[in-house]
Amino acid sequence: MKNSRIAVFGLGRSGLAIARGALAQGAHPHVFDQANADSLLKPEILEEARTEGITVTLGWDGKLPEGLDLLVVNPAVDMRSAILREAVEAGIEVISEVEFAFRISKAPIIAITGTNGKSTTTVMTYICLKACGIDAVLCGNIFGSGYPEVPMTEAALRSTPDQILVAEISSFQLEWVREFKPVSAGITNIWPDHLDRYDSFEQYAATKQRIFNAQDENDFAVVKAHDPVVKAPGQSAAVRRGRRPAPELIGVKTPTVLTFGATGEHARVDERFLTVLDKQVKIEELTYSEPHNYTNACMAGLLAFGALKASSRIHPEGVAAKVVAEAEKEAEASRAARRTAYNERQLEANKPQWILPAAILEGLRSFTGIAHRMEFVGERDGIRVINNSMCTNPDAVLKSAMALRGPNHILIGGRNKDLDFRPLRNYFANGMHHAYLYGEARQSLTEQIGHFPTFERMEDAFAAAVDAARSGEVVMLAPGCASSDQFRDFRHRGDVFKQIAKEWLEQ
């Protein structure tokens, strides 16, 4: 990277961090942004960049300068765009921020992607590592969680070998990865989403799968058992149960696959217990009650374990290695205390393959939720109000609605991403639940979900919902759409919803 000429798209906090990282590597970064000085969201970043000697071009016309070696692309840029096609044809290497951060990071990385649940799983994983005494850093595509978050390149630039970066990764960020090799990676699930950016669902799903591409036998991949869409890396469907390598992949180095779910080999949940490897926690000890969060917890526990195990191999004298060794020592001491002349063979036969540090379960116990994800706002006259602004696709709407009891009044709307909302029709068909359709997508939603009242603004939809709701019922924002028709992002949308909800709650 030294002496390379690097173009960075976008002068935001991440763009500045990438430029700083490039400077630290002895490269020559040049940041391009189509905004002018008056329309920058954070004008103070421009001053920082110029003070540090970083070249910045504002009001960029979209033309690439000559002599570029590397282009770090902003995830907002469609991979089908002419400028990226031009760069590839010119022989310029195009990578995402995720790839750039990986190349400069001194710390191992956990990477989590998926359509739904990735932010919650990312935070759970982060909490599990913190409970183990690891200096974990929350980074990547996550923001607005209520926990300390850092742009991924900034985290990588400051990283040390004893840290572990816990990164939420979007499909857009995976489009331009090459060497990106997380020590522990997982996909929560894959459902139709962002079909305005992809030619097909299959292309979207394949992009998510790229998170495993560079992993080898030293790494861990975490997937849901028997998932019809998510494929375990380097294994055929029949082998996802942990049997044999796919014939076409014999000799190919692939990561250790850990599975979770109802039939998961390494983590599962039933009516009484959540089990991760050799440890169990009672469901009643957890602060959350949504079934999908139990699944997220199973995955988070395995991701944290995989990272600790992989990190202990990379740095045998590091903190992660000590955590793993202590857990194994405690497990052996427990077996020794129970060993007799009569049961020694049985104890040895039942010896677990892996030992989960008990602190990981403590982390799962302590999780209390994150902002804008099934966030309880308040209650008035027996009517509960929930903010689920992060819900941006039909499957997330359905899952969050089904996690609630009693009649639900659900606000759905925003800007559609060419997604199919017809699966929601049956949920609302019995008349028990009610939809309030708002924003740019309201007419198309009416055609797909049913003839429910429509509103231009979310505020008006909320007013109608609380007016119709009765004691014991729930009013929930679960938009299922992008926020860009009326708001800056999902966080802004959620904050506005909470504000209007609190005004009603205080009346």
Instruction: Encode pLDDT of 52-86 as tens digits.
Output: 999 999 998 888 888 999 999 988 888 999 999 99
**Per-residue pLDDT tens over the stretch 285-295:** 998 888 889 99
Fold designation for 375-505: Protein-Tyrosine Phosphatase; Chain A (3.90.190)
pLDDT band at 338 (very low <50, low <70, confident <90, very high): low
Superfamily of domain 100-325+358-366: Mur-like, catalytic domain (3.40.1190.10)
**Average pLDDT in the chain:** 90
Burial of 316 (0-12, 13-18, 19+ CB in 10 A): exposed
Residue 241 has pLDDT above 70, yes or no: no
Using only the alpha carbons of the chain, give its radius of gyration: 24
pTM: 0.85
For residue 143, the model assigns a pLDDT of 83
- What is the end-to-end Cα distance of the chain in Å, rounded? 60
Position 242 confidence tier, pLDDT thresholds 50, 70, 90: very low
Mind listing the pLDDT tens digit for each residue in 162-179? Answer: 999 999 999 999 999 999
pLDDT of res. 175: 96
CA atoms within 13 A on the CB side of 141: 27
d(CA 383, CA 256): 47
Q: Residue ranges of the domains in the chain?
A: 5-91, 100-325+358-366, 375-505
Q: Is the sign of the CA dihedral 415, 417, 420, 424 positive or negative? A: negative
Residue 351 has pLDDT above 70, yes or no: no
Can you tell me which residue has the tokens 């052996």?
332
Taking CA atoms, 248 is separated from 232, 241, 245, 251, 258, in Å, by 14, 17, 8, 9, 21
- At residue 40 the predicted structure's pLDDT band, cuts being 50, 70 and 90, is confident
Non-local CB neighbours of 253 within 8 Å, separated by 6+ positions: 216, 217
Task: Give the count of beta carbons closer than 10 Å to the beta carbon of residue 452.
Answer: 16
Identify the CATH class of 5-91: alpha beta
The pLDDT score that the predictor gives to residue 235 is 58
pLDDT at 341: 56
